Structure formats: C-alpha cells, structure tokens
Structure 1
Amino acid sequence: MLAVVLVFMCIVASRAKLVPGRVQSVVELVIDFVNNSIIANTLGLKDGKRFAPMLITMFVFILVMNLTGVVPGLNLAGTSVIGLPLLLALWTFVTYVGAGIRKHGVLGYLRAETMPPGIPWPIYILLIPIELLQVVVIRWASLTIRLLANMVAGHMMIVVFIGMTHALLFSGDWIIAISPFAGVMAIGIYGFEIFVAALQAFIFTMLTAVYIQLATSDEH
C-alpha cells in the first residue's frame, strides 16, 4: 500500500495542471483538508508551513493503512499491528520534543512543560513528575494504544459478524432465517470501519499538531 500511494502521488504530481482534473482535485482536497482543518487551526501560518509536509504525510499514511482493513484480499489494517502505530507515535514524540528544545532550549523546554505559571510552589512537587511522565511516556503511548485499539476492534467486529452470518446460513435449521440480519450488520460495520479509519487518521494528526503547538508556544 505504501508503494502504491508513493507511485500514485508521483504520477499525480508529475501531471499536475493549473486547472486540476478529477484525480488531482481529490488529492488537493485531501491536502487542503489537512491544511485548513488541522494545521492552520492549530499551528497557525508560520509554524504550520514548517510542519505541513510531516502532518500531511502522516494523515495520508495513517488513512491508507487504516483502509487496508476493508480492502478485499488484504483484510487487515496495517495500523492494527502495533509496529506502525508505535513508529508513528515515536515520530510524533521526537518531533515535538525536538521542536520544543529548538525553541526554548533543553532547560527552557522542560520548565515550560513541567512548571506552568501561576501555580503555588508546593504544588510543583507533585506536578513536575506527572507532567514529565506525560511528556516522555503518556503522550506517545496513548497515541499508539488509541490507534491500535480502534483498528483492532473494528477488524474483530467485522470478523465476528461475517462469521456469524456464515454460521447461521449453513446451520441447516430454522435459525437460518436470521442470517440476513447478521449479513446486514456486517455490511453496516464494514461502512462504519471506513468512517473510523478516516476519523482515527484525523485524530492522530490533530493530536500531533497539538503536541507540537504546546512544545513551541511561548506560554501554556
């Protein structure tokens, strides 16, 4: 799927025209959606332009790998195997930590993340370890688990309802009459999985942009 997307994007880019055709319009629609709905609203124009290549690539990659779960012959989302969500989450972690250190320096970044202003000093004793754990572990771990769990759950639901339809259809009893209802549910879950695939790509990319914004902002 990665090779297919790379070849497809290269072909579209090489044939790009001022007045886009249907295929180019679809690609530009996806790029504009990420730019306007995620990047511009979260990072603004200056930082948004800087991180746009990463965020657009991330969105398209996650979307395509999520949709492999509903492609006949593949039947398993690439992101339902922990390696891909973990790799993407670590990419996010390295990016926002690197951006924060570049903006504030090492000590300045740690201070900005773990010591928000306006809090009584004794509270920092509890707050600093919690905030540090969130920056170092919780953010990328939650990104990994959220994406993985959603795609695994969707795959399992499709398998369960298709298996139920098959079992009822060949049961050889009056219960065979229920099989069409299970089949309809399987088709419904199939459509819902497409929606979840797009939604999870959006959420993952949006959270990545938010974490970058938190790391590079002057005040929290």
Structure 2
Amino acid sequence: MTVVGLVTEYNPFHNGHIYHIEQAKQLTGAATVVAVMSGNFVQRGMPAIFDKWTRARFALEHGVDVVYELPLAFAVQPGHIFARGAIQILVDAGVDAIVFGAEHVDWDFMALAKAAREKLTHAAAFKDYSQTYATAVNTVLQAELGVSLTDPNDILGLSYASALLDLGLADRVQLQPIQRVAAQYHDVVATDEHIASATTIRALAAAEQFSELIKYVP
C-alpha cells in the first residue's frame, strides 16, 4: 500500500489544496494521504488565519487521512529548516512518496540537490552575512549550475530533496513535483474562477469580500 506525504500550512485551506491532494493520489496511486502541517504559527512567524484544529479538520474532510503538526521550532524557520523538520516527520510516518507544488516541474529536484551539495558547502557566498540563506543559495546555483532558484515552491522543493539526502533516504522516498495551476504564491488578485492563492484569499478575508472569497474555498 502506497502512502503519500504532503507538506502543508493550509493558511487557509482552499480549492488549490484539494487539487494538490487529488493529484498526489492520482500520481502515486496512494491509498493513504499523510499531511504535516504548521500549527498556529506559520513561516515568517505569522499567526495562521484559522487555528490548527480547524485547519486539520478541513484537511480531513477533503481527502487527507492523517495530519501531523510541524512543531513551532521548525514551522517558523527559513525554508531549509522548515523542510528538514517536515520531511523527518513524513519519513517517520512511513510515506513512500512526497508530492509538492512547484513552479518548474521539469526540474529534477533530487539531481539538482545532489549537484549543488558540494558547491553549496564551500561557497564563499555563505560567508556574506548581509544576505539571507535563500539569496546565498540562489547566488551559488546561478553561478555554478545556471539555475535561478527564486520561486518559493521551487526553493522548498530543493529543500525537500536536500533533507532526503541528509537523511540518507533519497533512493527510498519518491519526490514528485506537480505544476502550480491558476495562481502563483505571491498573487494578490485572483485571475481564475475556482483557484486563488492563499495570499489572495487572506486579502479578500481582510477586506470582508466574502461573496468573492467563497468561490475559492470548499
């Protein structure tokens, strides 16, 4: 029996997340879906729009079988630490595959992580403390491999691959990207009638535009 894992925040849970769950099942043939989800605080330390119990319930009502909480010590960290905590939990839960959204699904994230590993370890960019870790990673990848890693889901995808390498499980757990559809992570205005980014949905909620918001959530 195949078990597929998802790394999530569900802030809030919306139609794009249902698409993610359905695609994960379809691509892997999984009978069981395990999600690891940030608790009441998400990346960058912001409080989630709904509490963790409500968000977990939404997930369980729409195709996820088990939700594990990503501890705060990982949930509010930069992407590589966030990913390491999430992947460790999913591996401990016994997943065979991890499916994640990406801006560039044609990239082989595991091959990219392997190629970048030695270069990132010794790169001078990591001694420049005036820039963020993500910026340093992108600087090295652009210079050494000709890859511009600037989109948020692509960055997390590389972090997931690196975490599996660190755990020695790159050959045991399948890492499968799927294309983000209809909306990008930072979109603040919806262009689709069914799927909008969580950023857009939070903005609609803050503006109390509930008649518009309702199109994008189950």
| Short-chain TM bin | under 0.3
Using CA pairs under 8 Å that are at least 6 residues apart, name the structure with larger relative contact order, 1 or 2: 1
Tell me the TM-score normalized by structure 1.
0.28
Larger proportion of helix: 1
Tell me the TM-score normalized by structure 2.
0.28
Larger radius of gyration: 1
